[in-house]
Amino acid sequence: MTASRLHLVRHGEVHNPGRVLYGRLPGYGLSEAGRRMTWAAAEHVRDLDRAVTSLIASPLQRTQESAEPFTEIFGLVPVLDVRVIEPTNVFEGTQMRRSLMNPVNWWHLRRPSVPSWGEPYSSIAERMLSAMDEAWDASTASAAQGEGGDVVIVSHQAPIWITHLRVAGLPLRHDPRTRRCALSSVTSFERVGDVWREVDYAEPASGGIDLGAV
């Protein structure tokens, strides 16, 4: 069986009572609701009735915890890959609404197309596609030994949405409030030759408070 799909899974709801933009800060794990959401995502992939033979996760706590149900269901140990991590953001550790009220911070908003407040969108797209290509090629090579299957990558809202835009051939500049990438959502891709295409999007988990995303 060859690698036929690659699923980008967003982490579940994070315990964040302070409503901080947590970015890459340590200590932000899943809430109880978030843990239930991650199970819904893993069960959704299981119910697709496809073999999953590769599990990759961002090294942050919330993504590692979101990978745990996939480990239990598919018996896979996640490989941590920094290329699928949350992007940097100058507002990390702050309450975004309060920060935007301070004129001192408006300088960081001067070029939303880059964006000027964090890692360039083009950089995010390049590292995500690099990780996806490598995972796909490894799974395809394993298929030659009869061990191929789908790939699951547990990542974050911004990297997943930027990947969607790049694959669709759309401009990377966007309003972060318009992203179609719910908590514990599953965005699925196939690669034909060197070309990626998105084939499915699902939101198996309902509810959840989407706070603190970059």
* 170: amino acid identity, one letter: L
Q: Give me 194's structure tokens.
A: 């060197």
Q: What is the mean pLDDT of the chain?
A: 93
Find where tokens 């972060």 sit.
176
State residue 141's pLDDT score: 75
Q: What SS3 state is found at 55? A: strand
State residue 212's pLDDT score: 64
Enter the pTM of the model: 0.93
Please name the helix (run of DSSP H) or strand (run of DSSP E) that holds residue 7, with its range, or none. strand 6-10
Give per-residue pLDDT as tens, 139-189: 887 665 666 789 999 999 999 999 999 999 999 999 988 999 999 999 999
State residue 40's pLDDT score: 98
Give per-residue pLDDT as tens, 89-125: 999 999 988 998 999 989 999 999 999 999 999 999 9
Q: How far apart are CA 198 and CA 81, in angstroms?
A: 22
State residue 1's pLDDT score: 46
Give per-residue pLDDT as tens, 35-75: 999 999 999 999 999 999 999 999 999 999 999 999 999 99
Find where tokens 């990626």 sit.
196
Q: Would strands 186-192 and 150-155 be described as parallel, antiparallel, or unpaired?
A: unpaired
State residue 4's pLDDT score: 86
State residue 114's pLDDT score: 94
